[in-house]
Amino acid sequence: MQTTFPLRGIIGVVANSIDEINLAKDKALQCVELRADLLLDAGLSEDELFTCVRHAKELGLAVLFTLRHPTHGGTFKGSEQQRVTMSQKAIDTGADLFDLEWGTEAAAIALARDNVLAGDNVLAGNNPVPIILSYHNFSEMPTAQELQDLTTQMESAGARAIKVVPTASTIDDSLAMLKWVGQGNASGSRIGFAMGEAGASSRILTTVLGGEVTYASFGAPVAPGQIDIDELVSLYRVNTLNNQAQVTAVCMDGDAGTKHAAALNQLYNQNNQVAVRFAASDAANLKEAAQWLRISDFA
């Protein structure tokens, strides 16, 4: 029986030190992603990675463990079997999920239910494997048909959730990913938004429109267009919004639009409403999408 998805709201990306786990707790986040590949680069040992898992769980945080492959923007230099073994050990230590990329050898190993993985966790029967099966495209947006085919294949793989993050070059690309998230079926969870400047709005609105989480960095972004944690928490109040939230579209270019959106968000305070800046040229597209995007006002 499928249980409630363990990750919710803003997931803080821990990429530099164990201190960022404490920051996540201080900012009232519910979950963190341990970017284990980047933590190894920062000087942590393998044992210290699992100490991070235990520390986060002791603080009441849900944990996603990620050893990102270099072809998907990561830095892990070990073998694919090592990625699976370390990810499984993270689960045995208390992590809720681990992330492996669609099409990689590691994902194939972990998703093959006949394989006996390291550790004590049993991945047999009808329970989905505790994996977020992820796809990243750092250069473009797939066509509608490519996205549909990719989704069908990924959702049939047996993972706990699928994550699709392409790169947006237009507002239509960003809206396509928000619609994709909202159309997620009941058999699994979809995590999705778009990278790049044109995708910034999708990072803010994805959880409002059906996505389980959005990602935020504590320091330098670890993906193109990733939004700073303080902006998501304090400016956009993403963790206070729910699926009935109303959106104000601020269609203004540059600093003027950013400042106007910030002023509106201060005014909204704890109301279930958020102002998001879009390019002035996006207004016509947004008016066509206003109903399903829950845009209640243009400013």
Encoding tokens for residue 110?
A: 């972990």
The predicted pLDDT at position 4 comes to: 83
> pTM for the full model?
0.91
**Three-class secondary structure of residue 159 per DSSP:** strand
For the chain (299 residues), the mean pLDDT of every run of 10, in chain order, is 80 95 96 97 96 98 97 93 95 96 95 53 54 95 96 92 96 95 76 93 94 88 82 92 93 92 90 93 94 93
Residue 226 and residue 22 in contact, taking contact as beta carbons nearer than 8 Å: no
Rounded distance, CA 23 to CA 32, Å? Answer: 10
The predicted pLDDT at position 129 comes to: 79
The predicted pLDDT at position 84 comes to: 95
Query: Residue 92: which H helix or E strand, with range?
Result: helix 80-93
Across the chain, the runs of DSSP E, i.e. the strands, are 9-14, 31-35, 62-66, 97-101, 129-136, 159-165, 189-192, 213-217, 227-228, 246-251, 273-278, 295-298
DSSP track, 108-127: HHHH-TTS--SSS----TTS
Rounded distance, CA 216 to CA 280, Å? Answer: 26
